[in-house]
Amino acid sequence: MEEKKLLNQKFESELLKTQIEVQEQTMQLIASNLHDNIGQLLSLTNLTLGSIQINAEEKIQKKVDTSIELVNKSIQELRALAKLLHGEQLLQLGIAAAIEQEVTWLSKTEIYQIQLENGMKNATLLSPKKDLVILRLFQEIVNNIIKHAQATEIKIQLHQRNDKFFLSVAENGVGFDYESTKRSNHGLGLFSIEKRIKMIGGTFQLQSSKNIGTQVIIEIPYP
């Protein structure tokens, strides 16, 4: 009984830590997009309006139209950021919706060709606490790809079958030797992923080949 209580306390503590990390990740993403996307759009709007010459009537309308288009894009970006700020509401729609939102933001970088196979669009059974952990796991996997993989293509698959949630993330990057990385303590992000998966009774597989890429496969009891 005491052991079960300690395990529950450990899980709740880890859950709080995960929630804070998801919020931090969200704020970093918002800061990045405010600077890179919206900041750039508004700067272009400013330059376009500033370049209008009153005596060049034939060019005025074209520049005004361009400015309106840039402002509309800025509004769209701000609305998307507002949705991101309501990340907990997004998780109420399920992990599939949350991952789709993360993929949308990753696509905006235009660095990767991304293929998403979402087999949970019509899922009705949700597990809010596990969804939060899964979302953080996905964020950590993506962060590892951005920092280390040098990939150009990412394939993401998720589905639910036989009371299990399945997530696969594969990329075509440089690859690495997981066991030697583990021994040298350089793969702390991956160890954190593995630890959290085991904490909720799941399994973790990693397959990597040099100059071919890496695939991470997660299976978790669900819901």
> For the chain, which residues make up each domain, given as ranges?
1-85, 112-221
Task: Dump strand ranges (E) for 86-163.
Answer: 113-118, 153-161
Please return the burial class of 199, using the count of CB atoms within 10 Å of its CB with bins 0-12, 13-18 and 19+. Answer: middle
- pLDDT tens per residue across span 178-214: 777 766 666 557 777 888 888 888 999 999 998 999 9
Place of tokens 């996997």: 141
The Cβ of residue 89 has, within 10 Å, a number of other Cβ atoms equal to: 10
pLDDT in tens, 78-92: 776 666 665 555 567
Q: What is the pLDDT of residues 111-159, one digit of tens each?
A: 899 999 999 877 766 787 888 888 888 988 998 898 889 999 999 999 9
Percent of residues, the chain, with pLDDT higher than 70: 73
In CATH terms, is domain 112-221 a member of 3.30.565.10?
Answer: yes
Q: Which DSSP symbol is given to 149? A: I
User: Does this model's pTM top 0.75?
Assistant: no
What is the spatial distance between Cα 50 and Cα 52, in angstroms, rounded to a whole number?
A: 6
